[in-house]
A = this chain, B = another copy of it.
Amino acid sequence: MNTLSYGLLSLLAQSSFSGYDLMLRIQPFWPAKHSQIYPLLAKLEKEDYISCELVPQRDKPDKKVYSLTAKGKEALKAWFDQPAAEPALRDEMMLKVFCLSYAKNESARNMLAGRLAYHEERHQTYELKLAQLREKPEWPEEGLPSPKHPLFGAYLLTRKAIMTNEANRAWCEWALSLLPEEH
């Protein structure tokens, strides 16, 4: 049981999902390709952490919908009280910033402008995500979801994404302001 396995169980704690859905949904928190997800799901099902139901579809290819089992819930709860590993960020751009004084001014500006655009696009995505959360039938009529509300975690994570993204966007703007504009 590695971290990605627990991540998949975490998502299934919310509701049942297909492997394809799980692959899409886990990206923001633990990037992984489908080639890593599918074999893991098969292993988790074999070991009875999750169960699987084949769902035929008309418009789209049939899918396998996975659900958390009692054993899976137990594993999740036990995992929760274990200390979590430190966050690991790998960002090629930060390595390039190290030797920014080596680069042409134009290259440096392009790189930072590209990252700024990335953060602006991300902001839109996260705001949309928030709006989608608020439109869900489970969303409380007044105020925010409480800690025991099933949407509480997703709400916290979306807010976290927005806050971190905004800090990084602001950094890009500040860094760009230090580089001379060329006309």
A residues contacting B by CB (< 8 A) are 3, 6-7, 9-11, 13-14, 29-31, 73, 76-77, 79-81, 83-103, 105, 107-108, 111, 114, 118, 144, 147-150, 152-154, 156-157, 159-160, 163-164, 166-168, 170-171, 174-175, 178-180
Contacts and interface: CB of A to CB of B under 8 A. Distances in A.
Contact of A88 (B86, B91, B98, B108): B91
A147 B92 contact: no
Contact of A101 (B89, B149, B166, B168): B149
B29 A152 contact: no
A30 B90 CA distance: 5
How many copies, total?
A: 2
A76 B102 contact: yes
A168 B160 contact: yes
A80 B99 CA distance: 9
A85 B92 contact: yes
A120 to B, nearest CB: 14
